[in-house]
Homo-oligomer: A and B are copies of this chain.
């Protein structure tokens, strides 16, 4: 997917012309088109005189430096000359953007690319993806992931009206809160809640619903990126607490009504406790966003939709 860019026939439009009087419309469009492409739509082009890349139908070109047969010891200067010649060719061909996939061992090529205006788009594990916008004006390349996702689980025992809460060992103010933590890559929201609850408290539980979402930007715990914090309602499968003493100072089954009125908690926990109390009294269908799994347009994949079930 990383090589897919921009509808080439949009290029004249994008170079400064106004689209249907709606500002940023063209920018939005190329982003969306880009996102709708799959890598299978790429086709190879190559120059004898330059780097061989793959061009997508949006006019972007992608070069994977692991696949173009570069000498393993190519110098920064030699790569810089090769890239310069390739850029001349791509510009002459009207390409909108260039993506360079750089294996870590060839990182010196990234320094050379930097001198031609490339910047890092993202990097993971053993490779970095560099990008250069050729379309004129401000770059309209799509961004990379912006949010980490954290999930907490409110395990509610309906028979006793109690909810599982912990006090972090590391906090100065020992406020009651729901156990939780960051999602692993590719992990569903509900799975994170169940896993984190077990790791912190030893309680087994199952997912019931989503209750709230908090969005926070420039998050200190997210390398300056944004944080999405979700609270789920879970039902207990076991009841004997065996909490993590490294992580928690205390762990208890607390009356939901007590949690709803105590000052020894966080603003979010307090609000969710009042919601849970309402749910205990009037039915959780009044507060739940339940999950429905729906087949994605991409074959064999599913997504999870959380929304209010219609009252019956």
Give, as a whole number of angstroms, the nearest-CB distance from A225 to chain B: 4
Q: Is B189 in contact with A298, judged by CB distance below 8 angstroms?
A: no
Question: Which residues 263-312 in A have Cβ within 8 Å of B in the complex?
Answer: 267-268, 271-272, 274-275, 278, 282, 286-287, 289, 292, 294, 296, 298, 301, 303-308, 310-311
Say whether, besides A144-B145, A170-B33, A244 and B104 are in contact (CB < 8 Å).
no
Q: Is B120 in contact with A34, judged by CB distance below 8 angstroms?
A: no
Whole-angstrom distance between the alpha carbons of A226 and B183 in the complex?
11
Residues of B within 8 A of A31 (CB): 181-182
Q: Is A2 in contact with B246, judged by CB distance below 8 angstroms?
A: no
Question: Which residues 8-29 in A have Cβ within 8 Å of B in the complex?
Answer: 10, 13, 19-26, 28-29
Q: Is B144 in contact with A147, judged by CB distance below 8 angstroms?
A: no
Cβ contact of A147, chosen from B22, B198, B228, cutoff 8 A:
B228
Question: Which residues 222-246 in A have Cβ within 8 Å of B in the complex?
Answer: 222-226, 228, 242-246
Question: Which residues 161-196 in A have Cβ within 8 Å of B in the complex?
Answer: 168, 170, 181-186, 188-189, 195-196
Whole-angstrom distance between the alpha carbons of A220 and B1 in the complex?
6
A76 at the interface (CB under 8 A from B): yes
A249 at the interface (CB under 8 A from B): no
Whole-angstrom distance between the alpha carbons of A311 and B278 in the complex?
9
Q: Is B247 in contact with A28, judged by CB distance below 8 angstroms?
A: yes
Q: Is B28 in contact with A199, judged by CB distance below 8 angstroms?
A: yes
Residues of B within 8 A of A222 (CB): 35, 145
Say whether, besides A148-B147, A228-B228, A274 and B310 are in contact (CB < 8 Å).
yes
Select the residue from A246, A292, A294, A296 with max chain B CB neighbours within 10 A.
A246
Q: Is B303 in contact with A216, judged by CB distance below 8 angstroms?
A: yes
Whole-angstrom distance between the alpha carbons of A120 and B129 in the complex?
11
> Of the 9-residue stretches A43-51, A88-96, A207-215, which lies at the interface with chain B?
A207-215
Name A311's closest neighbour in chain B (CB-CB). B286
A38 at the interface (CB under 8 A from B): yes
A108 at the interface (CB under 8 A from B): yes
Q: Is B306 in contact with A213, judged by CB distance below 8 angstroms?
A: yes
Residues of B within 8 A of A119 (CB): 104, 125-126
Q: Is B108 in contact with A107, judged by CB distance below 8 angstroms?
A: yes
Give, as a whole number of angstroms, the nearest-CB distance from A241 to chain B: 10
Cβ contact of A36, chosen from B201, B212, B221, cutoff 8 A:
B221
Can you offer 27 A-B residue contacts whose CB atoms are under 8 A?
A1-B224, A22-B201, A25-B200, A28-B199, A28-B200, A31-B182, A32-B170, A104-B120, A107-B109, A107-B110, A108-B111, A110-B128, A114-B126, A120-B128, A121-B123, A143-B182, A144-B145, A146-B147, A146-B149, A147-B228, A189-B215, A211-B308, A213-B289, A213-B305, A214-B304, A216-B296, A271-B305
Add 14 more A-B contacts to A35-B220, A271-B307, A275-B310 (CB < 8 A): A1-B224, A19-B246, A21-B242, A22-B202, A28-B244, A106-B111, A110-B110, A122-B123, A145-B147, A149-B228, A186-B218, A211-B308, A216-B303, A216-B304
